[in-house]
Amino acid sequence: MIPGPFSYHRPATLADAVKLLSTLGDEARPLAGGHSLVPMMKLRLATPEHLVDLHGIDGLKGIRRDGNRIVIGAMTTQHELLASDEIAKSLPMLHETVLLIADPQVRYRGTIGGNVANGDPGNDMPALMLTLGASYRLEGTAGARDVAASEFYQGAYFTALEPGEILTSISIPAPAAGHGYAYEKLKRKVGDYATAAAAVVLTMSGGKVAGCAIGLTNLHETPLLAAEAARCVIGTSLDEATLKKAAAAAEAIMSPAADARGPVEYRKHVGGIMVTRALTRAAGRAS
Amino acid sequence: MNDMTPTREQREANLEGMGCKRKRVEDIRFTQGKGNYVDDLKLPGMLHGDFVRSPHAHARVKSINSDEALKVPGVLAVITAETLKTVNLAWMPTLAGDVQMVLADGKVLFQNQEVAFVVATDRYAADDGINKVQVEYEPLPVVIDPFKAMDADAPVLREDLAGKTTGAHGPRKHHNHVFEWTVGDKDLTDAAFRKAEVTVKEMISYHRTHPSPLETCQCVCSFDKIKGELTIWGTFQAPHVIRTVVALIAKIPEHKIHVISPDIGGGFGNKVGAYPGYICAAVASIVTGKPVKWVEDRIENLTATSFARDYHMTTEIASTKEGKVNGLRVHVLADHGAFDACADPSKWPAGFFNIVTGSYDFPVAHLSVDGIYTNKAPGGVAYRCSFRVTEAAYCIERGMDILAQKLGMDPAELRLKNFIKPEQFPYHSALGWEYDSGDYATAMRKMMESVDYAGLRKEQAAQRAAFNRGETREIMGIGVSFFTEIVGAGPSKNCDILGIAMFDSCEIRMHPTGAGIARVGSKSQGQGHETTWAQIIATEIGIPASDIMVEEGNTDTAPYGLGTYGSRSTPVAGAAIAMAARKIKAKAQMIAAYKLEVHEGDLEWDIDGFRVKGLPEKSMSMKDICWAAYNSVPPGMEPGLEAVSYYDPPNMTYPFGAYICVMNIDVDTGVYKVRRFYALDDCGTRINPMIIEGQVHGGLTEAFAIAMGQEIRYDDTGNVVTGSFMDFFMPTAVETPHWETDFTVTPSPHHPIGAKGVGESPNVGGVPAFSNAVNDAFSFLGSTHIQMPHDYWRNWRAAKNLGVFA
C-alpha cells in the first residue's frame, strides 16, 4: 500500500499541462481528484513516473449555462455539483446521482472530469452522461475537439482520449421541461460500486412515453445505452408487459463480470429490475 | 448536620462506582486524536520492515534472489528463512501446539504467506525493495475445499509433519489431519437417537471471516546490544504472554524483555497470537542494532493474520413429538488453514465448542471435531468470542429452529420448553460444563412481551398470505436467538496458555492524599477498562473513580496477566481488582480502628469510609485513612496502602441473552431490510450500563456484518477474493440497523461482584438471530437451511432455488 517513486508537476495553464503530458508520454498521468489513480498507485497496479496535477489550472472549474446547454468544467468537484442551483434546476438527475457517490469527504475531492474520463465501468457518471446526451471537450497538442459521451468509452479504462489529451469540460443539453428522470442503483453499501444501475430520462405526452433514454452502469466493460429497451417503451403507458419487454431488451445487451456482488445471472437479473424501477419512477416524475 | 454536609446520595454519586453510566475517561484523548498507538511511535534511527508475500496458495520456493533489492537506496537487509535458521527462528510454535513458518521454508502454503522481510531506512524504500526481490516458485496442486482435504489422493500440505501420526492433540488420521477431539458419551447419545420419535440433521456452516480491527497488527522492536534488552511496542491483547513466548523462543532472559501495548485500535481476537512480523522485526533489530517498525496494511491483515470461524457443523437433534429434546450429536469439520494457529487455551483444540448444548437441558450429547489443513491463511482466532462459542451458539440456535420447523412448533415455544430451569443451577451439562446461574425463561418472556412476539407472528402470517396471492414481493422473517456463553477463561484446573494458568491480576497503590493507581493484567483495546476498573475500586473502597488511575499494557509495571479476549477481563481481572481492593479495605479498617480508638469489629462500612457502629458521627473517610496510612499506622503495621491480587477463578461465567430480529426480504433483488433488532442481555452485575450498551451496539454491528455478507472467500486456485474493504463487507453507519437493548440481572454466584462479562455476547447471539430471520423468512417456501452469509445475491439465489421465479 505504498506507491513507487514518481515526479509531481503542477502546471498553471492548460497549455503547460498538455505540453507536459505529450512530452512525458505514456509514463505521465493527469491527476484530478485522485480517487481512482492514487489507490491504484498505492497497490502499484499503476506506476506512473510523472503526475500532472490539474488543480493549479484556472478555468477548468465551474458550471455555466451556454444557451440550451449546461457546461461543467472538468475539475468541478462533486460537492460543487451538489451545491449548484443550476444543476439542481436543470439536471436534477445529476444532482440525485452525485448524492450516491460515496460520502461527503470523497465528494469534496472527487471531480466530474476525473470520474467520466477514467473509463471505469463502475463509475456512475458515465452512464448518466450517455443518457443525457452529453459531449466531452478534449484538448491536446492538436487543439480541441468534442466527442459524444456515447462515442467516448471503448473498453474498461480505454477511452477516446489520445495520448497527451485532457478532458477539459462536459457539455450537457438541458433536458426538456417536465421531463421525468431516475437513477436506480443497487449497491451493497455506501461507497460501493453498483451491482447494477440504470439511468432513465423520459418525456410523457398524453399518458404515453414520448421520448426515452436509458443508460446502464457496471453491467458491461463500458457504460451502455439501452437503445432497444428505450425504443420499446415509446408510445406505451409503461404497462407491466412493456416494462418486462424493456427489461429483457436491456438484459440482452448486459455482460457484467461475476464478482463479490454476485454471479453474472444475478447482476443481469437485477439490472433488468433497475431498468423497470427507473422507468416507473421517472414516469411518475414527468409532467 | 449543616447544609454543607453531603447527603448519602451525594456521597454515593460522587464515587461514580458500579452501576453508574460514567463517561469513558479514555474518550477524551481518543476523540481528540490524542491517543498513542504503535504507529505513532517514532524512535531515532528507526528502520521499517515489509514482507515479500507469496502470490501462490501452494508452491515450492525454488530460489530467492535479493541482489536487486539490496541495490535499492535505503534497503539494508533482506531476511529469509535461511537467515532465520541461523538463530533457529525459521519456524515458531503456535498457541495451539503446532508450528508455523515465520518465513517460507522450502514452500509456501497459502496466498500472501510471508516469504522474505525487507528492512530499509523508510517505508517507501522497503516497499521498493520487496518489488525487487526475485522469487522463483513451482506451483503445486492446492487443497481449498475442506471436505476434500482428507481425500486419499489429496496433496500433502505439511511436509514437515511427514510420518508424524500424532499431533499436539492426539492421533492424526491423514496427512492433512490436525486432530480429532471428542467429548460426551457416544453410546448413550447414539441410543437416544435410535429411540427418538423425531430427529433432524443438517450441515450448518459458519463461514470463514475476519475480525478486521480498525488498527491492523503492528510492532516496533528495539534491541539494546549494550544492555542485552529487547523492548517491543506492539498491538498485543496479551502483552505478558508475548513476553514469555519471546523469552522461550528467542532465548533472551525474560527480565530483559519489555513488552508495551500502548493504545490499541480494536482487537477482537486478531491481536492475541504471535505473527511472523513480530519475529522478523525483532530479529531485524538484533541484526541491525536499530529499532525496526513493522505495520501491516489492510490487505495483509485480511489475508494473512488470523481468520475466524470456518467451522462446518453436521448437527443432529433427537426429540419427542412434543418437542422435548433428548439428544444432540455434532460433528465439526474445522478448517485451520496451513498451520493450526488457533489462540485457544492449550488443552482445548476446538476451544469451548462443547458449550454447544446451549441453553437447553440435553440429557445426552456427543461432539467430535476434526481439524484439517488447507491452503488458506492460518488462524482460527476467537473473533469477539470466547473460543468457538460463537460457532457453538450458531450451531445450536440454527438447530433448534430447524427442529421447530420439523415439529411445526413455534421456535420460541420450543426453546421455552427445553430451557435449563432456574432450580437446576449450578447445572452440569452433558458435555462437561457447570453453568453458574441463569433464569432463561424470564429473559425469553421479557423479550417476547417487549416486541409483541405474538403480534409479529400474526403480521408474518398475513404477509405470507399476501405474498402467496401475488400482492407483494417481500417476505418477512423473525429470527429468535437465545444464547448461553461460557466466558472468563479460566480456572487453572482446565485453562492454561503454554502452561501458564489463566488467572489475572491487579495491583492497587493508594497515595497519601487519597488518590491511587491500579495496574491490571488485562489490556483494553477499546473496552473502556480505564473507566470501569476504577468504578469497581470506587465502590469497593469508597474513593471516587476519578481519583483512580488505571494502567495496563506495560509488562514492567503491570502484574502478570493473561490479557483481554474471550470476555475474560471482567470475570477474571475484574475479580482480581475487587479482591485487591478488599485487601486495601481490610488494612484500612485496621488503621481506622486504631485512629478511632475502637476495635475493628466495632466498625462498619459506610459508602466512602468506616463509622463506629451505633455512633455514626464517629467516622473516618477512606481519604483520611490513606493519609494516616503514611504517618500513623498501628504499632507493628507496615506503612503504606497497597495490595496485589492474583485471581484464579473457581469457574467460568455464563452470560446469556434473548435476541430477536425482524427482517423483510425483497425476493426479486434479495435486498433485505432489518426492521427491528431487540437484544436482551444478562451479564450479571452491571458495572457501567452505558459501556455495556456500547459493547452491545458494536458486537451487534459485527454480527450483522458476518451474517449478512462478511466473508473471507477463496477461489478454486486459492486466491483470496475478499482481500480489501471493497469486497470484504464492512458496514458503515448507513447500513447498520437501529439497536434496541434491554437486560435482566442474574449475578454470578462465584464472582466477587457477580459480574459475568458482556463484550462478546452480541456477536455470539446476534449472528444466529440474523440468520434465523433469513431462514425463517424463506421457511414457508419449503426451505430448511440456507448457509450464511446472507448477502443480496445469495438471498436471490435462495428465492430462485425455491421456485419463486417459476
Do B331 and B205 meet the contact criterion of CB atoms below 8 Å apart? no
Q: Is residue A245 part of a domain?
A: yes
State how far the Cα of B113 lies from the Cα of B57, in Å rounded to an integer: 8
State how far the Cα of A153 lies from the Cα of B484, in Å rounded to an integer: 57
pLDDT digits (tens, 9 = 90+) for B272-327: 989 999 999 999 999 999 999 999 999 999 999 999 999 999 999 999 999 999 99
A263 chain-B contacts, CB cut-off 8 A = 793
- What is the rounded radius of gyration, in angstroms, for the C-alpha atoms of chain A? 19
pLDDT digits (tens, 9 = 90+) for A74-86: 999 999 999 999 9
A160, pLDDT greater than 90: yes
Q: Is residue A1 part of a domain?
A: no
Question: Which of A1, A2, A189 shows the shortest C-beta gap to B735?
Answer: A189
Contacts of B624 (CB under 8 A, 6+ apart): B514, B609
Helices B575-596 and B622-629, packing angle to 10 deg: 80
Do B224 and B291 meet the contact criterion of CB atoms below 8 Å apart? no
Same domain as A251, residue A158: no
E-assigned strand segments in A2-119: 7-9, 28-31, 50-53, 63-66, 69-73
What pLDDT does B4 receive?
78
Contacts of B286 (CB under 8 A, 6+ apart): B87, B223, B230
State how far the Cα of A208 lies from the Cα of B424, in Å rounded to an integer: 72
DSSP assignment letter at B569? I
Q: Give the pLDDT band (50/70/90) at residue B5.
A: confident
* Residue A223 three-state SS: coil
pLDDT digits (tens, 9 = 90+) for B677-715: 999 999 999 999 999 999 999 999 999 999 999 999 999
Question: Which of B298, B726, B734 shows the shortest C-beta gap to A190?
Answer: B734
Is some CB atom of chain B closer than 8 A to the CB atom of A6? no
Buried b (16+ CB within 10 A) or exposed e, B106-136: ebbbbbbbbbbbbbbbebbbbbbbbbbbebe
In this prediction, residues B464-470 reach a mean pLDDT of 97
pLDDT digits (tens, 9 = 90+) for B622-646: 999 999 999 999 999 999 999 999 9
Q: Is residue A134 part of a domain?
A: yes
Pairing of strands A50-53, A28-31: parallel
* Residue B111 three-state SS: coil
Ramachandran category for residue B86: left, alpha or beta (phi over 0 → left; psi -120 to 50 → alpha): alpha
B1, pLDDT greater than 60: no
State how far the Cα of B440 lies from the Cα of B657, in Å rounded to an integer: 8
A154 lies in which domain range? 63-173
Q: Which of B647, B318, B605 is closest to B489 using CA atoms?
A: B647
Same domain as A95, residue A19: no
Residue A195 amino acid letter: T
pLDDT digits (tens, 9 = 90+) for A94-153: 999 999 999 999 999 999 999 999 999 999 999 999 999 999 999 999 999 999 999 999
In this prediction, residues A233-258 reach a mean pLDDT of 97
State how far the Cα of B393 lies from the Cα of A169, in Å rounded to an integer: 58
B616, pLDDT greater than 90: no
What pLDDT does B564 receive?
95
**A1 to B732: CB separation less than 8 angstroms, yes or no:** no
Do B513 and B626 meet the contact criterion of CB atoms below 8 Å apart? yes
Q: Which helix (H) or strand (E) holds B612?
A: strand B609-612
- Total structural domains within chain A: 3
> Considering A147, A173, A199, which residue would you say is the last residue of a domain?
A173
* Residue B265 three-state SS: coil
Q: Which helix (H) or strand (E) holds B505?
A: strand B504-510
Q: Give the pLDDT band (50/70/90) at residue A217.
A: very high
Same domain as A74, residue A28: no
Question: What topology is assigned to B307-421+437-489+652-801 in CATH?
Answer: Aldehyde Oxidoreductase; domain 4 (3.30.365)
CA distance A190 to chain B (A): 7
For the four alpha carbons of B336, B342, B344 and B349, in that order, the dihedral sign comes to: positive
Which grid cell is B51?
A: 514482507
Q: Is residue A19 part of a domain?
A: yes
B789, pLDDT greater than 60: yes
State how far the Cα of B395 lies from the Cα of B450, in Å rounded to an integer: 26
Dihedral pair phi/psi, residue A75, rounded to 5°: -90, 10
State how far the Cα of B178 lies from the Cα of B370, in Å rounded to an integer: 7
To the nearest whole percent, how much of chain B has pLDDT over 70? Answer: 100
Do B664 and B672 meet the contact criterion of CB atoms below 8 Å apart? yes
Prior bond to A92 cis, omega within 30? Answer: no
What pLDDT does B2 receive?
55
Pairing of strands B615-621, A50-53: unpaired
Do B34 and B90 meet the contact criterion of CB atoms below 8 Å apart? no
Question: Which of A190, A193, A260 shows the shortest C-beta gap to B721?
Answer: A260
B3, pLDDT greater than 70: no
* B409 alpha carbon, distance to own chain's centre: 34
Q: What is the DSSP string of A120-143?
A: -TT-SHHHHHHHHT-EEEEEETTE
Dihedral pair phi/psi, residue A95, rounded to 5°: -60, -50
Same domain as A41, residue A73: no
pLDDT digits (tens, 9 = 90+) for B415-460: 999 999 999 999 999 999 999 999 999 999 999 999 999 999 999 9
Do B95 and B273 meet the contact criterion of CB atoms below 8 Å apart? yes
State how far the Cα of B461 lies from the Cα of B609, in Å rounded to an integer: 61
State how far the Cα of B242 lies from the Cα of B555, in Å rounded to an integer: 10
Do B96 and B110 meet the contact criterion of CB atoms below 8 Å apart? no
pLDDT digits (tens, 9 = 90+) for B121-175: 999 999 999 999 999 999 999 999 999 999 999 999 999 999 999 999 999 999 9
Average pLDDT, chain B: 97
Q: Name the residue of chain A whose CA is nearest to B124's CA.
A: A2
In this prediction, residues A187-209 reach a mean pLDDT of 96
Sheet (strand B548-552) strand order: B548-552, B516-520, B504-510, B642-647
Same domain as A134, residue A69: yes
> Considering A173, A196, A227, which residue would you say is the last residue of a domain?
A173
B701 chain-A contacts, CB cut-off 8 A = none
What pLDDT does B56 receive?
98
Which grid cell is A195?
A: 451491482
DSSP assignment letter at B720? B
B50 chain-A contacts, CB cut-off 8 A = 2
Same domain as A120, residue A72: yes
Per CATH, domain B38-142+216-264+271-303 is 3.90.1170.50: yes
Do B6 and B14 meet the contact criterion of CB atoms below 8 Å apart? yes
Do A161 and A117 meet the contact criterion of CB atoms below 8 Å apart? yes
Question: What topology is assigned to B8-35+504-647 in CATH?
Answer: Aldehyde Oxidoreductase; domain 4 (3.30.365)
Domain ranges of chain B: 8-35+504-647, 38-142+216-264+271-303, 307-421+437-489+652-801
**B128 to A190: CB separation less than 8 angstroms, yes or no:** no
Same domain as A195, residue A137: no
Q: Which of B608, B628, B626, B527 is closest to B571 using CA atoms?
A: B527
State how far the Cα of B582 lies from the Cα of B597, in Å rounded to an integer: 22
Buried b (16+ CB within 10 A) or exposed e, B378-389: bbbbbbbbbbbb
pLDDT digits (tens, 9 = 90+) for B742-786: 999 999 999 999 999 999 999 999 999 999 999 999 999 999 999
Do B410 and B400 meet the contact criterion of CB atoms below 8 Å apart? no
Do B237 and B523 meet the contact criterion of CB atoms below 8 Å apart? yes
State how far the Cα of B495 lies from the Cα of B787, in Å rounded to an integer: 33
Q: Is residue A57 part of a domain?
A: no
Would you please indicate which residues of B are annotated as catalytic (active-site) residues? Answer: 237, 384-385, 760
Residue B468 amino acid letter: N
Q: Is residue A273 part of a domain?
A: yes
Question: Which of A44, A192, A269 shows the shortest C-beta gap to B131?
Answer: A44
* Residue A186 three-state SS: strand
Q: Is residue A155 part of a domain?
A: yes
Q: Which residues between 149 and 188 in chain A have a beta carbon less than 8 angstroms from any beta carbon of chain B?
A: 186, 188
Compute the CA torsion angle B607, B612, B615, B621 (nearest 10 deg).
-40
Domains B8-35+504-647 and B307-421+437-489+652-801 fall in the same CATH topology: yes
Choosing among B52, B669, B701, B721, which should be mutated to test the A contact, i.e. which has the most A CBs within 10 A? B669
B346, pLDDT greater than 90: no
Q: What is the DSSP string of B402-425?
A: HHHHHHT--HHHHHHHHBPPGGG-
State how far the Cα of A271 lies from the Cα of B72, in Å rounded to an integer: 49
Same domain as A203, residue A148: no
Longest distance between any two alpha carbons in chain B, whole Å: 91
State how far the Cα of B366 lies from the Cα of B328, in Å rounded to an integer: 6
State how far the Cα of A189 lies from the Cα of A187, in Å rounded to an integer: 6
**A262 to B792: CB separation less than 8 angstroms, yes or no:** yes
Chain B residue set in contact with A, beta carbons under 8 Å: 50, 123-124, 126-128, 131, 297-299, 668-671, 709, 713, 721-722, 726-727, 729-732, 734-735, 791-793, 796-797
Same domain as A274, residue A212: yes
State how far the Cα of A47 lies from the Cα of A43, in Å rounded to an integer: 9
**Cβ-based contacts under 8 A for chains A and B:** 59
